[in-house]
Amino acid sequence: MRLPLFLTLIIWQSTLFTFTIVADPPIAEAELVRRTQELYDSIASGNREPWKKYFADDCTFSDEKGRTFDKTKLVADITPLPKGYSGIIKIENVISRIVGEMAVLSYDANETEIIFGQELHARYHVTDTWLQRNGKWQILASQAHRYYEDPALGKADETKFPEYVGTYELAPGQTRAVTAQPGRLFVERNGKKEELLPESSDLFFRKGVEGRILFRRNNAGAVDALIDRRNNEDVVWKKTK
């Protein structure tokens, strides 16, 4: 039996209204940021509930230390800070891309940690991928890295600077020169001159460059090499003059 036209329209409109109510609206950047900040606010107290709620059961999480966790290990890693420790992490410089049922949130996480009254700072960059499944938005993948920061400036023994001055060779035709001015030390290669800033005696760094420069001494106590230490591995430049 064919339904009257007016009755067909009523049924169609009722069905559409039902779908409109049930459908989960697209998530907004502000809501992603709110949820993410909730995650970080829960770390100091060791509250695992937001991590259980906002991370998918099949998620993968890679932190700034190079560790990769599944959800079980991730949640288990959330524990209260030790006595005498406190801290906050604030989200800044947010960039989002929201397409359909997928959202990517990229941001800086700026940490302030207080250890028995001493204040420390660290900066991280994190990218989270959110996925909408079964009416819920959850993080499917998260990856973080820590911004490089120069070490604290130390004090060098300037009387040793003349011992560092000279030419150092990596291979034939590959040299770098170390020069000194009153109270300052420099290294130069291919016309690029950089100041060597002291971290401690015989150990130096260049501003904004990850790694260390140190000077090796032979058994007689004379400087015989410049060591360019990168990620705990050494490139040795032998002193030629």
pLDDT in tens, 85-137: 999 999 999 999 999 999 999 999 999 999 999 999 999 999 999 999 999 99
- Do 53 and 121 fall into the same domain? yes
Contacts of 151 (CB under 8 A, 6+ apart): 199, 205
173 and 122 share one domain:
no
Same domain, 126 and 169: no
Specify whether the CB–CB gap between 109 and 89 falls below 8 A. Answer: yes
Last residue of a domain, one of 82, 114, 146: 146
Q: Determine the distance from the C-alpha atom of residue 98 to the mean position of all C-alpha atoms in its chain, rounded to a whole number.
A: 23
For residue 118, give the DSSP letter. Answer: E
- Same domain? For 40 and 86 the reply is yes
- pLDDT confidence of residue 144: 97
**Amino acid symbol at 109:** A
| Structural domain contains residue 153 | no
Domain that holds residue 43: 24-146
Torsion of the alpha carbons at 10, 14, 19 and 20, rounded to the nearest 10 = 100
Count of the separate structural domains present in the chain? 2
Same domain, 124 and 59: yes
- What is the rounded distance in angstroms from the CA atom of residue 52 to the CA atom of residue 65? 22
Query: Does 191 fall in a domain?
Result: yes
Structure tokens at 33: 């940021």
- Indicate whether 16 belongs to any domain: no
Geometric angle at alpha carbon 26, from 127 and 131, rounded to 5° = 40
Same domain, 219 and 187: yes
Using a pLDDT cut of 90, give the percent of the chain over it. Answer: 82
Query: Are residue 165 and residue 199 in the same domain, yes or no?
Result: yes
Question: Which pLDDT does position 24 carry in this prediction?
Answer: 53
Tell me the pLDDT of the chain (241 aa) as tens digits: 454 544 444 444 544 444 444 445 679 999 999 999 999 999 999 999 999 999 999 999 999 999 999 999 999 999 999 999 999 999 999 999 999 999 999 999 999 999 999 999 999 999 999 999 999 999 999 999 999 999 999 998 999 999 999 999 999 999 999 999 999 999 999 989 999 999 988 899 999 999 999 999 999 999 999 999 988 899 999 999 8
pLDDT digits (tens, 9 = 90+) for 226-236: 999 988 899 99
DSSP for residue 134: T
Same-domain check for residues 207 and 235: yes
